[in-house]
Amino acid sequence: MEDVVSCPCALGLATPTAILVGTSLGAKQGLLIRGGDVLERLAGIDYITLDKTGTLTEGKPAVSALASLGHEESEILRIAAAVEKTASHPIAKAIITKAESLNLSIPITNRQLTEPGSGTLAEVDGLLVAVGKLNWVCERFQRRTSSFDLKRLEQSVISQSSATSSSSNHSSTVVYVGREGEGIIGAIAISDNLRPDAKSTITRLQQKGIKTVLLSGDREEAVATVAKTVGIDNEFVNASLMPQQKSGIISSLQESGHHVAMVGDGINDAPSLALADVGIALRIEGQENAASNAASIILLGNRLSQVVEAIDLARATMGKVRQNLTWAVAYNVVAIPMAAGILLPHFDFAMTPSLSGGMMALSSIFVVSNSLLLQFHGHQRKREKSNADNRYQQNEATLL
């Protein structure tokens, strides 16, 4: 009789049924989850690291200002576009788009070299031209531009960029252009608007007890402005990072016993996405890239708020797994002794084969049914999101 009433099936079904329902529900919400173990890891994270460009911002940058030292601005844009012609970074696309809109003739380049997180170097019209971060461009050439000229160049391009956009809801990145024999000869400001859900997403993550860390290769001033706008504390802001430095920060957090998720969108984020406990990639314009290939979860809706949705789903799924396991263990602990006749001496009760078989079947049905109830999580999540949005709007109105 014990063999009939015992239900190892319930134990075997407890985890896979909940995971199956969770991953299918995620697909309906625009979350591509690569494996059931991803949900388990995501449910336990306590730190989220985020890239800036294309993650907190919309990933649709545009040239907002140009400044030069002794050259026509069109010349700066022309040679910069030539160097960036084969690059895939959003900043490169912004420079090329601007040059094409002005009908500039973009020359053919030779000896192309790209260093992720720093810049791009190529031969244009017989001279090497570098486009990228200030220090990296300076190191490419023997001739150095004076610090006074560099400061004047930076102030000029930043002031022009600020004048073109009065909104505080944008981020401005400055890339420098250098040429062989001259050093740095110009600077280009690239502006990108923050995602409309960036601030609310960071707030909701923090309300869940998750620390938010900003990792960016951009200059400190631009990163600090974005962090302040979305609500990330200064102690969790890291700027001017190389891709390997981002990975180093994630490794340090993991060595300290934390469970870390990384959110990014581009090739510079791929090493960090692969290293984190859970890598989350935004899929921009429906295109596959290095970030989505390295990530455990892809946000097909390209909304930052989907990060919160994924965490809520993971926690709800693991909650169902624990409920199923608790039921399966409790059922077997109680039912097997009953089938063995533990109640017969005192209560004159013995289980019949039909009753034992029925209880065994009902145990499995309970586990499967409880897992299917996870589908109602989507309706509950919508209500919670609506309430959170209402509270956020009320707080904003109070501040105003």
Active site residues: 51
3-class state of residue 173 by DSSP: strand
| HSE of 279, CA atoms in CB hemisphere, 13 A | 24
Instruction: Answer for the pair 297, 32: CB distance below 8 angstroms, yes or no.
Output: yes
Count of other CB atoms within 10 angstroms of residue 322: 12
| CA atoms lying within 13 Å on the CB side of residue 48 | 29
Decide: 77 and 66 in contact? Cβ < 8 Å.
Answer: yes
**Cα angle, residue 382 at apex, residues 379 and 387 outer, rounded to 5°:** 130
Residues 6+ apart with CB under 8 A from 295: 34, 264, 273, 279, 280, 281
Cα separation, 268 vs 259, whole angstroms: 21
173, β-bridge pairs: 190
